[in-house]
Homo-oligomer: A and B are copies of this chain.
Amino acid sequence: MSTTPATPGTTVLAPEIAARLKRTEDGLLPAIAQQYDTGEVLMLGWMDDEALHRTLTTGRCTYWSRSRREYWVKGDTSGHAQAVKSVALDCDGDTLLVKVDQTGAACHTGDRTCFDADVLPLA
């Protein structure tokens, strides 16, 4: 099992897409998951080329877990899967927006989104 993100050019991600990606030093892009119909921002995960390839081709959101150092198909352990509706690359090529249909809670805490619990005070 790989413990590092895929080196660019070593996966079967379409070369014309791979050529447009601007990755962090770790070879990753932040991926924003948004509920496609309500617009809720659910979570932010990270994808390398291979995770993006799997997300585009399997219909299920796949991330690279920076803490566990492995691919992570959202919902495989929790059942809280994300069915992929669309994937867009931003104008700089360094961020992904994935519109999904989220089953149940997106957050491991049981909250619908990872942003529900900690609203910061405005001055």
Where the two chains meet, the residues of A that have a C-beta atom closer than 8 Å to any C-beta of B are 14, 17, 20, 30, 32, 34, 38-41, 43-44, 56-57, 59, 84, 86-93, 95, 97, 107-109, 111, 114-123
Contacts and interface: CB of A to CB of B under 8 A. Distances in A.
User: How many copies make up the complex?
Assistant: 2
Chain A binding surface, main DSSP class: loop
A57 B123 contact: yes
Contacts of A41: 32, 34, 41, 97
Contacts of A116: 88
Contacts of A17: 120
A91 B38 CA distance: 21
A103 B17 CA distance: 31
A32 B109 CA distance: 20
Contacts of A123: 56-57
A55 to B, nearest CB: 9
